[in-house]
Amino acid sequence: MGNGKIPPEWVRTILIIIIQLLALVVWGAILDTEVGNHIDDLNVHMPLSETIQTFVPRTEIDVRLLAIENSLTRIESAVGVIKQ
């Protein structure tokens, strides 16, 4: 080691580290691209406004059904009054 040469083990280790870092950078770039494409895919991720329009909350459906039921009750009473 005192002769000014870099030991071959160090060269191998440094090359392995550089190769691993390059592989990590390439993998990260590929992952960023795939995740970006996945997020932008509207078949997988709908915007919130479209999600709300598609999936109406159960409470809203219940309120509408109750309103329809009340309307039918009023119509039945009106028909009963007309028949008399």
The boundaries of the domain holding residue 84 are 46-84
Q: Are residues 39 and 50 in the same domain?
A: no
Claim to verify: residue 50 and residue 24 sit in the same structural domain: no
Residues 36 and 65 in one domain: no
Q: Are residues 28 and 51 in the same domain?
A: no
pLDDT number for residue 33 = 82
Nearest-angstrom CA–CA distance, 42 and 51: 11
| 33 & 18 share domain | yes
Is the domain of 8 the same as that of 30?
Answer: yes
Looking at residue 80, what is its pLDDT?
A: 85
Measure the CA–CA gap between 13 and 63, rounded to whole angstroms. 69
pLDDT digits (tens, 9 = 90+) for 24-82: 999 988 888 877 776 666 666 777 777 777 776 777 888 899 999 999 999 999 998 88
Number of domains in the chain: 2
Q: Which of the pair, 18 or 32, is modelled with greater confidence?
A: 18
